Amino acid sequence: MKLRPLLLKLRLIHACFLFQALNLFFTARAQQAEPPAFWENEQINAYHREPMHVSYFAYENKTLALRDDPAQSAYFLSLNGNWKFKWVDKPDDRPYGFWKTNYDDHLWQDFPVPATWEVNGYGIPIYTNIRYDFDYLIKPDPPHVPHTYNPVGSYRRWVQIPATWEGKKIFLHFGAVRSAFYVWVNGQWVGYSEDSKLPAEFDITNYVKPGTQNLIAFQVYRWSDGSYVEDQDMWRLAGVHRDVYLFARNPVHVRNVEIIPDLVHQYRDGVLHIRLDFPDNRDLALKRYRAQVELLDSTNRVLLHKTVALADSNVFQHILLELRNPHRWSAETPYLYTVLISLQDEHGHTIEVIPQHTGFRKVEIKHGALYVNGQAVLIKGVNRHEMDPYTGQYISRERMLQDIRIMKENNINAVRTSHYPDDPYWYELCDRYGLYVVDEANLESHGMGFGANSLSKKDAWFLQHFERDSRLIERDINHPSVIVWSMGNEAGMGINFEKCYQWMKQRDPSRPVEYEPASATPYSDIYCPMYPTPDDMVHHVLYDSASNQKPFILVEYAHAMGNTDGNFKDYWDTIRKYYPRMQGGYIWDFVDQAFFKITDRGDTIWAYGGDYGVDMPSDFNFNCNGLVAPDRSLHPQMLEVKHQYQNIHTFPIDLLHGDIAVFNENFFTDLSTVYLNWQLIGDGKVIDSGRVYPIKANPRDTAHIHLPYHLPDTGYHELFLNCYYRTRQAKDLIAADWEIASDQLHIKGSWPLQTGIEPAGSLHVQITSEEIKISGSQVHIAFNRHDGFVHHYEVNGVDILLSPFSLRPNFWRPPTDNDMGAGLQVKLLNWKRASHHQVLLHTDIDTSVEGLVALHMRYALPDVFAQLQLDYAINGNGEMRVHQHLYADTTKDVPMMFKFGMQMILPASFHIMQWYGRGPEENYWDRKDAAFVGLYTSTVDAQFHPYIRPQETGNKTDVRWVKLTDDAGNGIWISGDSVLNIEARHFLDEDLDEGLQKHNRHAGELKPRHLTALSIDLQQTGVGGVNSWGAWPLPQYRLYYRDYDYQFIVRPVISRTSADAVHH
């Protein structure tokens, strides 16, 4: 083990000699025809590219530095905007000599920078998860990529470089280019770069002429050897994805500023370790300069300053600033200080000023947990891809800020930059607004597998691994939000990662390093598995002694694909029970990766894998796993995530007398910025309310609060207490009165769930060969003799049941993405058949009670080895009680069912929905904590949520009663002998059901039918939330094969106008 650092050092020395040799050789070729084909050489990933440094801009003075807007500097020139552009579909067709100053480009297109090619009409967007997106062209054979189809984009632009830049060092910056590119200036080849998610800078001083027009040209390859380590689960898109600009520096300038914060003396006092680097730290000219280092607070008041001579690198590389009792940075308290580095000449003139933001915080691993500032924090995180539905992988600042706001509004406190470094502005936002960041290298070779072929085991691929890991640290080391480095994702585990880990730990001892495949090895500081069940997590903590001494944080969990994130409460009940041995995790993932598209039919859809090209590689909608849709509208599961991630929790002490406990789960903030709105709810109605402030609860402390309500003695069946915690004032991105936490506590009582039906009126029964007709003065109901189901239901002239449909049993739902991933659309198929195929065995009619007709139907369900009993009771008011009983033959091996219930199709005019149950958003057996029991009014239209791919949607649990009416007030009211699951949609189940496999259907293609499909279910199997490729809903949320029994009553709701019309 002791030899490895030495070997690594020797390897780097060898690489330096190799680079120098290449530099001499290729400089001689700079004016010649074509530069070398580096794009298929895994050991040459850059040529003439500047060493990585932290993200900063050097300004002319302090005033500009404090504004920190490069556009205001005279030494910044943006190259964003239109360039001349030529796209070809293979390297052999790329335009020869296009970099020359006399090349004629007048027939080329104007094309924006930054911009993704494929969303702008150049090339085909391809989405794959594991496989390489070019494996349909060639068998993967690193480092070789396709030649017959490998698009190349060539860019040209004339740029006027200011005359004031004469004598300066001039640099060309590319924020992110996928996947490899060459650069020319004024006809001369400058350099080459790979790594599509980190910047590349080139010193072009010797190639340009300030005060004149200069030609900048570059050429981008869609696929290169670097593509073999950029095999992430995302759209594979080429182009320029971040800003491009020029900047000028003085010949003597600060090359890099490194700032490492620390807390000492029991986290009371702050220390900043600052290191300055110059292009040549031994440059004798530095003796004539000095650096002034200032520390400013958030109001720009100077707190500390130090002047450092630059004659001795041991001094300027070891600058120490100490501040007593500073504000501490955390995701809860993101207080930032500003460090100004001013370079001054021997006359005291300021040459340049570099601003950097920092925060005092300390990250540690101790006692088997991850600590920030002495606290074992809970990670309430998400994974996030850089994705915009209109611009692809070019993300605007406005979109980034929107993502931060949504995360903060929904109690998300951490983000993993899956699976690559993000735009530098993202880290600024995380610093400013408070998000813990796992910063991940752009490194995944999933398509090569994790065995002997893994590139992590290949010596020739070490440089690809090392450069991506090392450059990540060099760019982002100053950000206080970055608390963990990630070496990459799903790239196997081999010697290359072992070497990278050792270097990273030596380079930055202040942060832990993680890598999921190395979780159980010495080469990951954190045990960070993917997609365990809650039981798996408990087993690890209790029994896996080999690796359970590390912090246990899920790097990916709760796969948020489609209608999902059931059992999220189970995850967090488990995490909180075993805290601090469990500390949370990162949901996969934040946003659906889908594009805005208008189809040939004119439908507006979110397009996913397989929606472009013909027979292209695709993993279909597996890239649509977001808590938010592509346009950032929230999916329903986000509400459950917000609820489980909340930092304030309410517990009963004595609810009969208004006594509660409020626990503050924050680690660094009290509840002085929050007030409590409480409501006393009786049978869904607010009968009392109030406001509590202050809430005196320190971090990790509990406040006992008395609420001054008095329970009514009579008039209500059940009472609840609703508690809503809201912000007192607007702060940063969160508005005043924003709800940050909520709880509902049951005080007493229960809703009387009765399905009794009394005789009423006079009924006449007529039996024909086709029907059993039951009629009275106001009622006309007909049962079909062949299937035994209600086919006609009319009261007071109002058709309740839409012809030709019937009220019939249902055991099926349109499969969710989780269902399809587990193959349940096949494994449970017999329950779909049982919903459509029943054998009527027996019919019995009982008219012995005046004003009441009873019918009894017995069925065989041969597909599931069961029998079904349906009993009806109907009175002269048109009320109907339905009793459904399933008799299961448990000696047979029959899988679970999706639902146990019935479905009826109503007129589309029954579009107003009122219910007393959980809401207002959809909720399910395993995802309902955020949905409080209450009285709600909505529309049937609003019950359908447009998941990217059509599937089950709109369920409401714990429903005491539901009413569906038309605009005139006609409709039905339903209640059960137990709480029900209710769904109402303007779609039939078949509209949302793709069958046995997916067919690239989209919610935007659906057209509502002129009907209202109402499902009345005893229960529905949970939607699941472990993963979307095999996991079933957790056992406690499954409808296993056994006997089931429930009853419900249907009462017609007839408006006075309709009733008067019938009587007259």
Q: What span, in angstroms and rounded, lies between the C-alpha atoms of 962 and 901?
A: 15
* Local structure of 683: helix, strand or coil: coil
The answer to whether 506 and 532 are in contact (CB under 8 A) is no
The bridge status of strand 798-799 relative to strand 790-795 is antiparallel
Q: How many CB atoms lie within 10 A of CB 927?
A: 31
Q: What span, in angstroms and rounded, lies between the C-alpha atoms of 876 and 852?
A: 7
Q: What span, in angstroms and rounded, lies between the C-alpha atoms of 838 and 902?
A: 13
Q: What span, in angstroms and rounded, lies between the C-alpha atoms of 382 and 385?
A: 10
* Local structure of 740: helix, strand or coil: strand
**In this structure, what are the phi and psi dihedrals at residue 286, rounded to the nearest 5 degrees?**
-65, -25
* Local structure of 590: helix, strand or coil: coil
Q: What span, in angstroms and rounded, lies between the C-alpha atoms of 831 and 822?
A: 16
User: HSE of 685 in the Cβ direction (CA atoms, 13 Å)?
Assistant: 6
**Of 258, 490, 640, 983, which residue is the catalytic one?**
490
The answer to whether 599 and 1005 are in contact (CB under 8 A) is yes
Q: What span, in angstroms and rounded, lies between the C-alpha atoms of 828 and 1038?
A: 12
Q: Given the structure tokens 């038309």, which residue do they identify? A: 966
Buried b (16+ CB within 10 A) or exposed e, 947-986: bbbbbbbbbbbbbbbbbbbbeeebbbbbbbbebbbbbbbb
- Annotated active-site residue 50? The verdict is no
In terms of Cβ atoms closer than 10 Å to its own Cβ (0-12, 13-18, 19+), residue 840 is: middle
**Of 42, 118, 514, 556, which residue is the catalytic one?**
556
Q: Report the helix count and the strand count for the chain, using DSSP H and E.
A: 15, 58
Q: How many CB atoms lie within 10 A of CB 543?
A: 9
- Annotated active-site residue 201? The verdict is no
**Rg of the chain over CA atoms, in angstroms?**
33
Q: What span, in angstroms and rounded, lies between the C-alpha atoms of 1020 and 986?
A: 20
Secondary structure of 530-578 in HEC code, one letter for each residue: ECCCHHHHHHHHHHCCCCCCCCECEEEECCCCCCCCCCHHHHHHHHHHH
Instruction: Tell me the catalytic residues.
Output: 490, 556
